[in-house]
Amino acid sequence: MNSSAEINIEYVARLARLALTATEQAKLSQQLGDILHYVDKLKQVEVAGIEPMAHGSPVFNVWAADVVVAGLSVEEALRNAPEQRADSIVVPKVVE
C-alpha cells in the first residue's frame, strides 16, 4: 500500500489541529501507511465460525465473597470526630 497516495497528511493534521514539519509529515505518513497495511492483513484472516469475544483471555470475577460482618459501633465511629452531636458528626456548613 502506497501511504502517500492514499493518506492526505496535511488534511489529517489540520483536522487534529497539529502543526507538523515536513519531516514529521513524512514520518506520520509512513506510520499511518504501516497501520493501514496491517489492517489490510487482518481483513484477510478467515474468521468464519469463530465466536466474538470481549477479551483475549478468559476473565473471571475476582471479587471476594460478599460476607456479612459486624460494622463499627456508634462510639467507635465517632471516636475520632472533631465534633459530634446526637450520635452524628458535626461538619461546617458549606451551602448558604
Q: What is the model's pLDDT at position 39?
A: 93
Q: Where are the alpha helices (DSSP H) in the chain?
A: 3-6, 9-15, 22-43, 74-78
Report mean pLDDT in 10-residue bins for the chain, 96 residues.
65 92 92 92 92 84 86 92 92 88
CA 89 to chain centre: 37
Backbone angles phi, psi at 85, to 5 degrees: -150, 130
Q: What is the model's pLDDT at position 5?
A: 52
**Looking up cell 497495511, which residue turns up?**
37
Determine if the pTM surpasses 0.85. Answer: no
Q: Which amino acid is at 87?
A: D
Q: What is the model's pLDDT at position 21?
A: 94
Q: What is the model's pLDDT at position 1?
A: 47
